[in-house]
Amino acid sequence: MTNTKQPTCAIVQDISGLGRCSLGAALPVLSALGVHCMPVPTAVYTNQTGFSRFASLDCARVLQEYPVLWREHGVAPDGIYTGFMSTGEQLAAAQAMIDTFRPPLVLIDPVMGDDGKPYPGFNDQLCAAIAQFARQAHMITPNVTELFLLAGHENLATVNYEEFLRAPPKEQERTLRGICEALPQKRIVVTGWRRGIFVINAAWDNGAFQMYASPAIAGSWSGTGDLFASALCGGLLRGESLERSMQRTVCFLQGAVGEAARRNVPKTHGIPFEFHLKELLN
Rounded distance, CA 124 to CA 109, Å? 18
> What sign results for the dihedral spanned by CA atoms 227, 233, 236, 241?
positive
Q: What is the pLDDT of residues 45-70, one digit of tens each?
A: 999 999 999 999 999 889 999 999 99
Q: How far apart are the first and last CA of the chain?
A: 11
pLDDT above 90: residue 274: yes
pLDDT above 90: residue 252: yes
For the chain, domains (ranges, CATH) are: 8-281 (3.40.1190.20)
**Do 188 and 204 meet the contact criterion of CB atoms below 8 Å apart?**
yes
pLDDT above 60: residue 1: no
> What pLDDT score does 233 carry?
98
Rounded distance, CA 255 to CA 243, Å? 19
Which residues touch 45 (CB under 8 Å, ≥6 apart)? 14, 15, 16, 17, 19, 54, 55, 56
Q: Is 230 exposed, middle or buried (0-12, 13-18, 19+ CB in 10 A)?
A: buried
Q: Determine if residue 210 is left, alpha or beta; phi over 0 gives left, psi from -120 to 50 gives alpha, anything else beta.
A: beta
pLDDT above 50: residue 2: no
3-state secondary structure of 37: strand
pLDDT above 60: residue 273: yes
pLDDT above 50: residue 259: yes
Confidence of residue 157 (pLDDT cuts 50, 70, 90): confident
Q: State pTM to two decimals.
A: 0.95
Confidence of residue 180 (pLDDT cuts 50, 70, 90): very high
Calculate mean pLDDT across residues 192-212. Answer: 95
Rounded distance, CA 233 to CA 80, Å? 9
DSSP letter at 18 equals S
> What pLDDT score does 159 carry?
86
> What pLDDT score does 122 carry?
95
